[in-house]
Structure formats: C-alpha cells, structure tokens
C-alpha cells in the first residue's frame, strides 16, 4: 500500500480551515496518512507479549483434545436419567487426569472421575461428588451411588472436545495485539514460536532553548525536560522500539540535522515544542525542504484543549527522494507537558497502533456521572484530567483533578482517566453523564 502524500491529504483538507480542525477530523486524516509496517519476524512466546500478529494462528489441534470432566464426581451415560426413580449406579473404576479409564461401562454402572480426566467411552454426563448419596452406611465404601431425580441433564459437567478451539480454525487473527490471555491460548496449541510484525521504531526529541536535560545545572528561566520521559513511557508501553534523541535547541541548522537523523532511523518521529505560531515559521520552511514533493508537513490548529497546535506529515528519508513510501511520519506535538500526553493519547497512539499492524478497535469510552459542574464551550474538544471512582450505588462518578493548566503535569499523575468533552458539547451540570477515557493499561 502506498502511503498518502501530504499533498493528497492537503487536497482532502481543502474546504476545511486548517486553523480550526476538529479532533475527529484530525483522527480521520491521520488514519489515512499512516500505513502499517510490512516486515515480519518469528519470535518465541516469551518475546511475543504486546506484539502484533502478522498471520492468523491456525489451530493445529483441538482444545481440549478429548471430552473430559469439568468436576470431581462420577461419569455415567445420561440416557438413564429419563427414569422417574433415583438412579443407582455401581462404581466400576476410576478415571484420573492424565490416566484414563479404558474399560467399558454398562448401564447401571459409573466411573469415579476427576476434573480434567478423559470421559470413558460411551459416557457423557458427570454427577459432582457432593450431589450423590452413598449406598453403604460407611462412606469409605463408595462402590454404589444414588443420584436423585431432577438433578441433572445429559451432558452436564462434561467439557467437549474442541469446545475452546477446533483443529484447522483460526485461533487468533492477524492484527491481534498479543495479551497475556493470547499467550496462554498460543501455548495451549503447543506453539512455541509466533509470527509478528516487526517493532515500530520511533525517534523522539524535545525542542527549546529553555529545556534542560537531566544532569544539567539549573539556570535562570530554564526548565527540566519532562516530555521526553513521558513520551518514552508512552512509547515503551505501546511496545515500540524507542530512539531517544535528546533536547534540540531552537536553531534551524540543529533542528534540520535532528530531523534528518531521525527520519533516517525511524518509522515515526515525535517532537515536542516549536509548533506554536511564534515558533512555527522557521520550522515550516525547513519542513518544506525536508518533506520534498512527495512528503510535506502541515501545521494545524486543532479545535481542542489542551493541545491546539500540531504539525503532522512525512519527512523523506533522503531529501533527493520523491517516494512517499520512503519517509517517516512526523508528529510535531505542542510543548506543554499535558498537551503532549493528551495529543499522544488522542491522535498519536491510535496512528502508531495502526502502523504497528494492530486491527484492535479502540477501547470504548466509559460513562461516569460528573461530581461537579464543568464549564465547556461548544466548538472544541476538551480533555480534562479526572479521577473516576465507584459511587455507593455501584455507578461510576468522576471528578476533575483541580488545576487543568496544560503545563500542570501533576494533574495527569493524580488522574486515572481523561474526561472527554466532545466538540459540540456545552456546559456540564452536576450529575450529568460524561465520557471518560481510562488510563489503565494505556499510560
Ligand atoms: P512551545 O510549544 O515550544 O512554545 O512550549 C510551550 C511550553 O511548554 C513552554 O512553557 C515550554 O517551556 C514548555 N515545554 C516545551 N517543551 C518542554 C519539555 N520538553 N519539558 C517541559 N516543558 C516543556
Ligand atoms: Mg519552544
């Protein structure tokens, strides 16, 4: 698949005001801009966690491989349950997990069976041991059992061959993100290795003359870089191969060199800072050069809060190239630390997942009742930091985490989710239901 060039994206954008794009428009354009990686590799099951399947996994066996008991009890033929009187069965043997009972069982007979043991031939029903009475006064003499009427139906407490997976059927589909449950499923098929898309390589750097790297002495007017660390964490959680390129000063020559180096090594580049109106001009000129004809970078102002300015596009791996396939995708995020995280979650993360080959649907937003009134202007999407908790009646409620300034990173640490106030939504009154995007498993 040939990636869309920014020119064709720009053509699609004609008619929209790039100074006021809605968040949903940006998501839609990004999903058309990026393309999935095409190389795959084979990895051992322990390296497969968090990776994306590049091929369907076809089950080479049925799981379970035989009918077996779901309970400790007694196996018998369910046809005998039709009778009106309690069933009296003689215990003729024992079936253990991993040690089947090989004999034939006649009507009026049963086999003591343990959970997971193979069902003896011809038997289809298990009565749990706690539901039977023993004929003998002495419970040690368990050779005859009584099953009361109306307790069971044919097939009860039997797990059927292939009820989890059928031989020859896809057990997992291409594009699946491998979770702990998926690893277990793969192992249950006896597979030690699995085909996955190669890891996405993402280079990132922070920009700004005022940004200090850790280890540098504090100086007047300077702040320590936080964005590189949140971006590192977000990318690592996503399973990307990260390339940390440090802090780059607001100097066109240095920035240009950094972009060229990043594009050469990575599938995607994430920068923070330098895209606001005052700073964007020289970045724009440089991007025009680095993006070439087939690439290009657009500077957008998104109708959202936080995270208004953003630069998006492609940077060619070699400036002389005209081929958009040979380019890295650029996500130029705003500088403010909360805006970086919000734009990452809203736009970059879904686009990177697509590049990783994942076909997973985004996690659904949850509904929670707002514990307070929230002022909100229609015409932009707002992401407020929230703490979601369970109300006494069991429903979810959410409260904002105080100061919502786009530089207040402590609000992200306190929050366990984002309250998403949609584009057309207005003020929220106390008790209104709002959408929340939970952080769990994401950040
Ligand atoms: P900018 O978008 O470059 O104008 O930056 C907006 C604000 O975010 C400024 O207050 C910057 O100091 C701050 N900022 C930019 N980059 C970083 C960073 N890497 N770490 C912490 N704060 C930053
Ligand atoms: Mg800056």
Q: How confident is the model at residue 277 (pLDDT cuts 50, 70, 90)?
A: confident
Residue 6 reports pLDDT greater than 70: no
Residue 355 backbone phi and psi in degrees, to 5: -65, -30
Residue 405 reports pLDDT greater than 80: yes
Q: Report the share of the chain in percent with pLDDT over 70.
A: 91
Q: How confident is the model at residue 169 (pLDDT cuts 50, 70, 90)?
A: very high
CATH number of 366-438: 2.40.340.10
Q: How confident is the model at residue 183 (pLDDT cuts 50, 70, 90)?
A: very high
Residue 231 near residue 340 (C-beta atoms within 8 A)? yes
Q: How confident is the model at residue 141 (pLDDT cuts 50, 70, 90)?
A: low
Pairing between strand 223-224 and 170-172? unpaired
Residue 21 has a pLDDT of 87
Q: Give the Cα separation of 336 and 339 in Å (integer).
A: 5
How far is ligand 1, taken at its centre, from the CA of residue 410, in Å? 15
Q: Name the class of domain 6-39+199-355.
A: alpha beta
Q: Give the Cα separation of 113 and 110 in Å (integer).
A: 9
Residue 293 reports pLDDT greater than 70: no
Count of positions (residues) in the chain: 443
Residue 406 backbone phi and psi in degrees, to 5: -75, -5
Lookup: tokens for 70: 């779901």
CATH number of 68-159: 2.170.190.11
Closest CA to 346 of 23, 108, 79: 23
Whether the CB of 210 sits within 6 Å of ligand 1: yes
| Most confidently modeled range among 1-10, 130-139, 260-269 | 260-269
Whether the CB of 274 sits within 6 Å of ligand 1: yes
Instruction: Give domain limits for the chain.
Output: 6-39+199-355, 41-63+164-197, 68-159, 366-438
3-state secondary structure of 80: helix
**Atom 6 of ligand 1 has which residue's CA nearest to it?**
335
Q: How confident is the model at residue 276 (pLDDT cuts 50, 70, 90)?
A: confident
Any idea which fold 41-63+164-197 has?
Molybdopterin biosynthesis moea protein, domain 2 (3.90.105)
Cα maximum dimension of the chain: 95
Alpha helices in 292-358 (DSSP H): 337-343, 349-355
Q: Give the Cα separation of 414 and 396 in Å (integer).
A: 17
Residue 138 reports pLDDT greater than 70: no
Which of 248, 271, 335, 344 most suits a substitution to test ligand 1, by most atoms within 8 Å of the C-beta? 335
């Amino acid at each position: 698949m040939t990636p869309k060039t920014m020119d064709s994206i720009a053509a699609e954008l004609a008619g929209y005001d790039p100074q006021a794009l809605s968040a949903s428009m940006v998501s839609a354009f990004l999903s058309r801009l990026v393309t999935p990686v095409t190389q795959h590799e084979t990895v051992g099951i322990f390296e497969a966690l968090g990776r994306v399947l590049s091929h369907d996994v076809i089950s080479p066996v049925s799981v379970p491989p035989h009918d077996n008991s779901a309970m400790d009890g007694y196996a018998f033929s369910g046809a005998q349950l039709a009778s009106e009187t309690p069933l009296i069965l003689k215990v003729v043997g024992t079936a253990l997990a991993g040690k089947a009972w090989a004999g034939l069982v006649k009507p009026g007979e049963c086999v003591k069976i343990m959970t997971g043991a193979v069902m003896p031939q011809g038997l289809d029903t298990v009565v749990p041991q706690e539901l039977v009475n023993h004929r003998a006064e002495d419970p040690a003499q368990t050779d005859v059992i009584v099953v009361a009427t109306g307790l069971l139906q044919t097939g009860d407490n039997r797990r059927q061959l292939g009820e989890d997976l059928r031989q020859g059927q896809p057990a997992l589909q291409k594009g699946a993100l491998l979770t702990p449950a998926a690893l277990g499923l793969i192992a249950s098929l006896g597979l030690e290795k699995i085909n996955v898309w190669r890891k996405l390589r993402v280079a990132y750097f922070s920009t700004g003359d005022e940004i200090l790297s850790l280890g540098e002495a504090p100086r007047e007017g300077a702040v320590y870089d936080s964005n590189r660390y949140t971006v590192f964490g977000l990318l690592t959680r996503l399973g990307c191969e990260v390339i940390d390129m440090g802090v780059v000063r607001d100097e066109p020559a240095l920035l240009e060199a950094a972009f060229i180096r990043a594009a050469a090594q990575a599938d995607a580049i994430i920068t923070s800072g330098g895209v606001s109106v005052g700073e964007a001009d020289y970045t724009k000129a440089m991007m025009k050069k680095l993006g070439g004809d087939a690439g290009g970078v657009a500077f957008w102002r998104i109708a959202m809060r936080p995270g208004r300015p953003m630069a998006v596009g492609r940077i060619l791996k070699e400036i002389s190239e005209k081929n958009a396939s040979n380019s890295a995708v650029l996500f130029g995020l705003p500088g403010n630390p909360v805006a970086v995280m919000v734009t990452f979650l809203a736009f970059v993360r879904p686009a990177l997942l697509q590049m990783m080959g994942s076909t997973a649907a985004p996690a659904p937003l949850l509904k929670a009742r707002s514990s307070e009134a929230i002022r909100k202007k229609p015409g932009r999407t707002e992401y407020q930091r929230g703490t979601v908790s369970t109300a006494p009646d069991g429903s979810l409620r959410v409260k904002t985490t105080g100061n919502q300034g786009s530089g207040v990173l402590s609000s992200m640490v306190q929050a366990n989710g984002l309250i998403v106030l949609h584009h057309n939504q207005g003020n929220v009154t106390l008790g209104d239901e709002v959408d929340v995007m939970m952080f769990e498993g994401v950040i």
